[in-house]
Amino acid sequence: MKFFVDTAEVDQIAELNDLGMVDGVTTNPSLIMKSGRDILEVTKEIADMVDGPVSAEVVATQADAMIAEGRKLAKIADNIAVKVPLTWAGLKACNVLTNEGNMVNVTLCFSANQALLAAKAGATFISPFIGRLDDINLEGMDLISDIRQIYDNYGYETQILAASIRTVNHAYQSAMIGADVMTAPPKVIKQMAEHVLTDKGLEAFLADWEKTGQQIL
């Protein structure tokens, strides 16, 4: 499973990238706003830092304007994935940008039908939003499972990019179902290393080691 980091904070990306935990990065207008940076500047810095795809999102709502914005974003670096919303206009933009040789991430997916349309339009990635479905008392993981089955049924190459991941259970369940990629905030990725029994075991080992009076260095 590929790990994408869902942030525009360069320092946080760099820390995880140094550990080999970054296969790509996803950004959106909200994350750019939080970073306080110029979108073109920060996207270029991130794209230069990581080897994998860096999603940069258009803000237009009409297809022609999305295509124009997408072309500009794609010029930032060779590893840019243009991010478009799952609307009819977004699907049109996806098809054009894909046919021009660009990676495209179709975002804000909330149904299997939408995911099927995105695959037909040639999306590189489809981003189903798990947490936001959970927020309205729907099971976000069911959507990941449904998309996985549909794509496998017909051999679609669009990669399932599990998004809106809020917990370590979201990450685990996405991996179990077979999502190709997950994108999560740095905090969630770090929390995946935590377990109460690990903490207790380490505490016991260190207590016993102290009693030996030995040192390794």
Q: Catalytic amino acids?
A: 83
DSSP 62-111: SHHHHHHHHHHHHTS-TTEEEEEESSHHHHHHHHHHHHTT-EEEEEEE-S
DSSP character for 1?
-
C-alpha to C-alpha distances, 217 to 145, 203, 214, nearest whole angstrom? 50, 20, 9
Per-residue burial over 62-84, b = 16 or more CB atoms within 10 Å of its CB, e = otherwise? ebeebbebbbebbebbebbbbbb
Kindly report the backbone phi and psi dihedral angles of residue 87, in degrees, each rounded to the nearest multiple of 5, phi listed first: -120, 170
Q: Return d(Cα 214, Cα 217) in angstroms, integer.
A: 9
Cβ neighbours for 156, distance < 8 A, ≥ 6 positions apart: 119, 150
CA 22 to chain centre: 10
